[in-house]
Amino acid sequence: MKTVLIPTDFNENSVYLSENILKNFKDEPIRILFFHAYKLTDSISDLLMLSRRSTEYGQIPESFHSACYDFKKTHQAQIDTIGIEYFYGSTMAAFRNFAEAHEVDFIYCPETYSFRQISKYSINPDVFLNKSGIPILKVIQEDEAPVKRKKAIALEHEVAQLV
């Protein structure tokens, strides 16, 4: 089983965009791990009490949870689990430890993904993702078309390649 790390701002579209990577792993179940990066607070009381952690989980909209549930149910033969994690840190070493702890095999950044800060502690993970040494799955999107239901974007043509 392979683990794919996907940065997100907890918009449900990021769940549906991850459907593109399933074709790369036809014969193997995958574990999808959505994550958002936060810089570590300087407040000792925040660190000791982990008070922000519960508020951060409260920032995930119900529509994101529903999209994850629907997506896993639709692709249950191919998706083993879908998880949500936070990365706390601002160094490459911290990110490598995070990736190793979660056994990340690949990183997937949809072409339409752009970092959106959801809190004052949010940080753009692009530097970590590009310098981590973990293979990045790129899906080249030639055409985009709107679709029914909750999906905002569906991709008609794609070519997957490891960079």
> 40 pLDDT band (50/70/90 cuts)?
confident
User: What is the model's pLDDT at position 98?
Assistant: 92
Answer yes or no: are the C-beta atoms of 125 and 7 closer than 8 Å: yes
Structural domain includes residue 19? yes
Whether the predicted pLDDT of 70 surpasses 80: yes
User: Residue 122 gets which letter from DSSP?
Assistant: B
Decide if 150 is inside a domain.
no
Q: What is the pLDDT of residue 105?
A: 94
* 33 burial via Cβ count (<10 Å: 0-12, 13-18, 19+): buried
The pTM of the full predicted model, rounded to 2 decimals, is 0.75
In a domain, 149, yes or no: no
Structure tokens at 31: 């574990």
Residue 144 has what pLDDT?
A: 38
Mean pLDDT of the chain: 76
Domain that holds residue 91: 2-137
- Share of residues in the chain with pLDDT > 90 (%): 22
Q: 115 in a domain, yes or no?
A: yes
Instruction: Break the chain down into helix, strand, coil percent, rounded to 5.
Output: 35, 25, 40
Domains held by the chain: number: 1
Range of weakest confidence among 10-19, 31-40, 153-162: 153-162
The CATH number of whichever domain residue 107 belongs to comes to 3.40.50
CA–CA distances in Å: residue 53 to residues 8, 21, 96, 101: 17, 29, 21, 19
Q: Which residues contact 28 (CB under 8 A, 6 or more apart)?
A: 1, 2
Tell me which amino acid residue 71 is.
F
Q: What local confidence, expressed as pLDDT, does residue 111 receive? A: 72
Q: How confident is the model at residue 129 (pLDDT cuts 50, 70, 90)?
A: confident
Report if residue 109 sits inside a domain: yes
**Residue 158 resides in a domain:** no
- Cβ-contact 111, 140 below 8 angstroms: yes
Residue 153 falls inside a structural domain: no
Residue 151 lies in a domain: no
Q: Which of 138, 139, 144, 140 is nearest to 156 (CA)?
A: 144
